[in-house]
Structure 1
Amino acid sequence: MRLTRPLLAVLTAAALLLTAAGCTARPGDAAAQPTGSTEHSLESGGISRDYRVYRPAGARAGAALVVVLHGGYGSGAQAERAYGWNEQADSDGFVVAYPDGLARAWNTEGGDCCGPAERRSVDDVAFISAMVAAITNDHGIDPSRVYLTGMSNGGIMAYTLTCRTTLFAAVAPVAATQLADCPTPAPVSVLHIHGTADEAVRYDGGPGDNTSTVIDGPPVPELHNQWRRHNGCPDPTTTTAGPVTTSRATCPADREVTLITIDGAGHQWPGADRTPMRERLLGTDPPSTALNATATIAQFFTQHHR
């Protein structure tokens, strides 16, 4: 059953009453929450949905929250292992959430993407909104410092969430595009990271080469310009260092819209550890070593509050 938007507020309020599975801490008692990685679930749209939370030992009440969305065929556990966000959280003191898409995919509400989640019209906006509400309550998160990033299908979902909600102070899609309709999104800081040799989600737009779902989005520079217009930003300032080109627009209300282009990089999370078996099985590209995407995104997030 698809959860309609009018019920989203009810679901979100109900999510505030949930505690971690097997945890006896009272909602809102951040000091009682366990540190390290824990598994949780909540019901959304009649489906039990799973997510993981990493709370570093240094996290305090009023910490920031970073939501990390895995790519197609991935999972929350895979994203937790692959992208280095736990280590970044240990350094910076924020909490990280790793939700699971249904059948390892997200329904991005556009472009026939992706898999069973799209075919069953799963309301992933409702699920992730409820998850954010639950974690914000349980861990004493500062609601003005809730951030979102994602890889590939997860990055596309990040754009959908940015178009449908006002939860996030800043978003950072990686190797992604926008497929959902988005005529009047709320102003938000955006950092997009993309390789010019990405054949799954093409930098120049058009249908990508993907064995399961053809991703057909706008050219990435055009998408960057759309978000500049949404935020009322001036023309960007562009700098190049080796294969990395950064186009940064400083916008009203201390917002920012930035595109980082990595020349020759494919469909991957820059700076991640190599996983040769996954690369062989799924035909994915090795991570670029020209940029540490996690550290770059974390620094971007610290500069922007809602």
Structure 2
Amino acid sequence: MRTTIDVDGRPRTYTVIANRDSSQPRDLVLVFHGSRQDAEAHRKFTGHSFDALAENGEAVVAYLDGHKGNWNDARKESYFPARIEDVDDVGFTRAVIRQLTATHRIAPDHVFAVGYSNGGQMVLRLVHEIPDLLAGAAVLSAPMPAPDNLLLPPATPKYTPLPVLLMHGTQDRVVPYRGGAMAAWARRLFKVGGSTLSAPETAQYFARRNGISSASQVSRLPRRNGASGKTWVEQTDYREAGHPPVRLLTVHGAGHTIPGPRRAPFILGRTNQDISAATVIAEFFGITVPARSRP
């Protein structure tokens, strides 16, 4: 169901996937699309895999629409319309949470944000600006902006430790896994600038913020029968008793893509199908996953 909501006089839209009503408070998964997408395009891009999280009625999935295909994200050097017009995407997120909490029986402490690329950068902004409204964040193909490129509010709120799950392909030609500046063609095409940390540095950044001092644990995830052998997934966990965990999934050989049932266009690079991002995210945050959606 597509819904329109007014945010400071600007109509904003989002699509809600909810299988049925529930007498019990439910999880809410907010999904933020990538550049030049909208909610419907992102649903197709991910093979509707996040829709499945709403099948059992215990979760509600909301795909938010950016302004003219983008989010006013965490990078100072972005210069697409959402940034130039200073669109209040943080206010939009607040409004969606508030509305769905009232209409869909959302548990206030069970709101999770998931973002890909520009949408991932938007989630990074939310983590720094409204951490009190989130129970966890999943960021795909979007490492932390470097300190001099990080957009923070004038009065940064006290940090609330959150579980964080990161995913990134090592052969990402759009947003480099190793950090630094995007290629010149990508900066022009997507209207962004500045540098980012590497994916491992981003994981270390959140581990420190969560107060984790223990060494990380690294493992290799098993292959799925019939999947291509050109990509594989390495899992790095930062865990310590009493602190929210941080996990980095390094997708070796994959591009600017989301692991799951649908392969991205060839120009974005290889898509890993050993895992489903939606399923991995749900399991990490403790959201019930329907059996048929598992890889």
Q: Do both share a fold (TM > 0.5)? A: yes
Counterpart for residue 289 of structure 1: 273
**Aligned letter for 2:77?**
D
Counterpart amino acid of residue 126 in structure 1: G
Q: Can you list the C-alpha shifts for 1:66-88, whole angstroms capped at 9, x where unaligned?
A: 00000001111122233211123
Q: Which residue of 2 aligns with 1:236?
A: 216
- For residue 242 of structure 2, the aligned residue among 250, 253, 258 is 253
Match 1:74 to one of 15, 21, 37: 37
* Preserved contact between residue 17 and residue 51 of structure 2 (Cα < 8 Å): yes
**2:288 paired with 1:298:** no
- Aligned twin of 1:158: 123
- Secondary structure of the structure 1 residue equivalent to 2:26: coil
Q: Does 1:55 align with 2:12?
A: no
Q: Figure out how many residues of one structure are paired with residues of the other and give that number.
A: 262
Letter paired with 2:104 = H
Deviates more, 1:103-112 or 1:147-156: 103-112
Deviation for aligned residue 1:247:
0.9
- In structure 2, the partner of 1:178 is 144
Counterpart of 1:25 in structure 2 is none
- In the alignment, the residues of structure 1 paired with residue 178 and residue 84 of structure 2 have an alpha-carbon distance, to the nearest angstrom, of 27
| Counterpart for residue 106 of structure 2 | 141
Q: Give 2:180's aligned residue.
A: 206
Gaps of 5+ in 2: 223-231, 289-295
Q: Distance in 1 between matches of 2:72 and 2:217?
A: 34
Q: Is contact 1:59-1:94 (8 Å) kept?
A: no
Shift of 1:53: 0.7
How much identity, in percent, do the aligned residues show?
29
Matched, 1:194 2:173: no
> SS of the residue aligned with 1:297?
helix
Candidates 90, 95, 99, aligned match of 2:60: 95
Deviation at 1:123, TM superposition (A): 1.4
- Measured at CA, do residues 171 and 109 of structure 1 come closer, stay the same or move farther in structure 2, by a change above 3 Å? closer
| SS across alignment from 1:134 | helix
Q: RMSD of aligned C-alpha atoms?
A: 2.1
The residue matched to 2:107 in structure 1 has which SS? coil
Q: Give, in angstroms, the shift of residue 138 of structure 1.
A: 1.0
Contact 1:72 1:154 in 2 (8 A): yes
Normalised by the length of structure 2, the TM-score is 0.82
For 1:42, give the aligned amino acid: I
1:15 match = none
Q: Does 1:116 align with 2:94?
A: no
C-alpha deviation, 1:274, in angstroms = 2.8
SS at match of 1:51: strand
Moved more, 238-247 or 61-70: 238-247
Unaligned runs of 5+ in 1: 1-37
Q: Does the 8 Å CA contact 1:198/1:265 hold for their aligned counterparts?
A: yes
CA distance in 1 between partners of 2:21 and 2:95 (Å): 25
- How far off its partner does 1:142 sit? 0.6
CA distance in 1, matches of 2:54, 2:117: 22
Instruction: Name the TM-score, length of structure 1 as normaliser.
Output: 0.80
